[in-house]
Structure 1
Amino acid sequence: MQTSAAPVQTSAAPAKTSKSPAKAPSNPILAGKRQVVIVPIESFEGVVVLDDEGNLGLTDGDSDRSMFVFAPHDGKFQIKTAKVARGGEPECLGVKNNGSQSLTVAAVACDTGKADQLWDIAPTGKRDEDGDPIYSIANQSAFLQIGRSGLIVEELGDAPLLTTYTFADNGKSTLPKLD
């Protein structure tokens, strides 16, 4: 028995999505001019931090590896450490493939040619209790989320976005210009 599916009607032009990153020039934080602490709204632990092994996690204490600079690049952002590493350059946050385990984030040598280092930082349209804008952070349609094992990068599918962030301004970026 042979069946055929009815043709699917599509509109002439696909619907446009409004997933545009925040404009860097009008926001000094997103223009790479300020160093910030990334604060997850939905977490009891305080801030995003790189641990001693270079993996991204959460901490409720102070750390010299909890400040970052957003460097705009072609409508996306590299997230750089606010302090330079041993080689005299900052490190960047890159997605780390862990085989069958969840994707995580680790410090890597900065390279704007690597898609796993280019992040979408988009305002959610909401504000925190201090009136600061709240953002989502994503890499290639996978969002930086708090999972059971810490910070992970995952596609949402039909699930809602559960982790959003605000950025605590910690002054002017002291990173050297390397362009």
Structure 2
Amino acid sequence: MSIKRWFGGAGLVVLTGALGACVAGGPGAPATEGGQQETGRGVSVGEREVGIANSDGRPDAVGRSTAPAPATSALPPVLTGKRWGTIVRTESFEGGVSLLDGGRLAEVDGDEGRQLFAPTPIGGKKYLVKAYKRSSTTPLCWVARNPGGGRPLIVEGAACNAQDRHQQFDVTPVTRDGRQVYLFSNSSAYLRHSARSGLILEESGDAQPVSYFRINDNGPAPVG
């Protein structure tokens, strides 16, 4: 592969200072893939409820935010937008996350797609997750999509737009077993692995499982 192996490179980023005392847990179990409510207090996921863009790119009835300029001094290096790295699900034994040329975020064990990511703060604790190929300095950004037909929400690529709510992701540092990992979410729908559908976005209920991800630092990201 042209980039560092999924488990190689700089490895986990250790969070220092006050931010190192961040939350030591995660949200509970997601709703079922089709958007139906599970037992307990699981919340149904629907286009209206979480404000996800339709498959043709048209947003539903949601507002657009104008976030203030972010302060990055207390962030882990991989969350400053100045470093890029591979993203690996902690439960995955091989392979990593890729934004495929066909547009969807998936897990692969080859070199296909965009496999270098630079979460870039845009204010209000929100991030654009920029996706690059090693040979390119022009990113695409993650965007939450509703493919319709009762299928689960997914992540695709789009031209970066910090004002698009569907591109504004939360990237939450979590300490698990003494290691720094991350949760990715958009409008309370969390990125997780589904045995049937691959990487999807689902709202959480009260219990496990969710998916945690490592960000393996691969050096300075392109400027801009």
Displacement, 1:84? Answer: 9.0
Counterpart for residue 172 of structure 2:
122
The TM-score normalised by the length of structure 1 is: 0.76
Alpha carbons 2:116, 2:134 under 8 Å: kept: no
- In the TM superposition, 1:54-133 aligns within 5 A as 54-63=103-112, 65-74=114-123, 75-83=125-133, 89-99=138-148, 100-127=150-177, 132-133=179-180
For 1:134, the aligned partner's letter is V
Query: How far apart, in 2, do the equivalents of 1:35 and 1:164 lie?
Result: 18
Using CA pairs below 8 Å that are at least 6 residues apart, which structure has the higher relative contact order? 2
Change (3 A) 1:45 1:103: farther
8 Å Cα contact 1:30/1:71 also seen in 2: yes
* Structure 1 residues not aligned, in runs of 5+: 1-17
Contact 2:183 2:211 survives alignment (8 Å)? yes
Whether 1:159 and 2:216 are equivalent positions in the alignment is: no
1:11-90 pair list within 5 angstroms: 24-26=72-74, 27-63=76-112, 65-74=114-123, 75-83=125-133, 89-90=138-139
Report the alpha carbon displacement of residue 161 of structure 1 after superposing the two structures with TM: 3.8
**For 2:77, what is the secondary structure of its paired residue?**
coil
For the structure 1 residues 57 and 67, does the alpha-carbon distance in structure 2 shift closer, same or farther, using more than 3 Å as the test? same
- For residue 63 of structure 1, report the CA deviation from its aligned partner: 3.9
Structure that is richer in strand per residue: 1
Answer yes or no: is the 8 Å Cα contact 2:132–2:138 preserved in 1: no
Structure 2: which 5+ residue stretches go unaligned?
Answer: 1-22, 27-70
Residue 171, structure 1, aligned to residue 219, structure 2? yes
Aligned to 1:4: none
Larger Rg: 1
SS at match of 1:116: helix
Percent of aligned pairs with the same amino acid? 37
Q: How many residues align?
A: 152
Per the normalisation by structure 2, the TM-score is 0.62
Residue-by-residue CA offset, 1:37-74 (whole Å, 9 max, x unaligned): 00100123420001220110001223461111111011
**Deviant stretches of 4+, over 6 Å:** none
The two structures, once aligned, show a CA RMSD in angstroms of 2.4
